[in-house]
């Protein structure tokens, strides 16, 4: 198994969409938990500390299913809907961390 920089839980259906390549972005709420996790941003709101190159998303019964992905970048951004659709579960002007997924490196689905 590939060593990963970060572990996050996710719904199993969303994990399947990532593995299939249908979903290339994952979102994390504007909450204190994630502010502590993603400590430092650069001037473009890109997370630079910790440096995250890989994430293991865990889902399913007892988190037995997983996918390890390489990460292009993580940004702290506000959704306006001007350059694309607002992600499901968010409203206009909501703020969240967007994880841009490069590719799936390993999975057990």
Number of domains in the chain: 1
Q: What CATH number did the domain enclosing 74 receive?
A: 2.30.130.30
The predicted-structure confidence for 38-92, as pLDDT tens digits, reads as follows 999 999 999 999 999 999 999 988 889 999 999 999 999 999 988 889 999 999 9
Q: Which structural domain range is residue 90 located in?
A: 6-107
Q: Is residue 74 part of a domain?
A: yes
Q: Is residue 1 part of a domain?
A: no
Q: Is residue 72 part of a domain?
A: yes
Is the Cβ–Cβ distance between 87 and 79 less than 8 Å?
A: yes
Is the Cβ–Cβ distance between 109 and 65 less than 8 Å?
A: yes
Segment holding 32, helix H or strand E: helix 32-37
pLDDT given for residue 109 in this prediction: 94
* Cα(2)–Cα(82) distance, integer angstroms: 37
- The residue that leads in pLDDT, 37 or 60, is 37
Confidence of residue 29 (pLDDT cuts 50, 70, 90): very high
Q: Which residues partner with 97 through β-bridges?
A: 28, 76
């Amino acid at each position: 198994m590939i060593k990963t920089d970060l572990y996050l839980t996710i719904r199993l259906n969303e994990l399947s969409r990532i593995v299939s390549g249908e979903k290339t972005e994952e979102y994390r709420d504007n909450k204190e938990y994630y502010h502590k996790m993603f400590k430092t941003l650069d001037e473009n709101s890109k997370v630079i500390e910790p440096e995250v190159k890989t994430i293991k998303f865990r889902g399913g019964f007892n988190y037995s299913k997983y996918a390890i992905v390489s990460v292009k970048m993580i940004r702290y951004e506000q959704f306006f809907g001007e350059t694309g659709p607002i992600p499901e579960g968010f409203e206009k002007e909501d703020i969240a961390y967007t994880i841009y997924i490069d590719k799936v490196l390993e999975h057990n689905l």
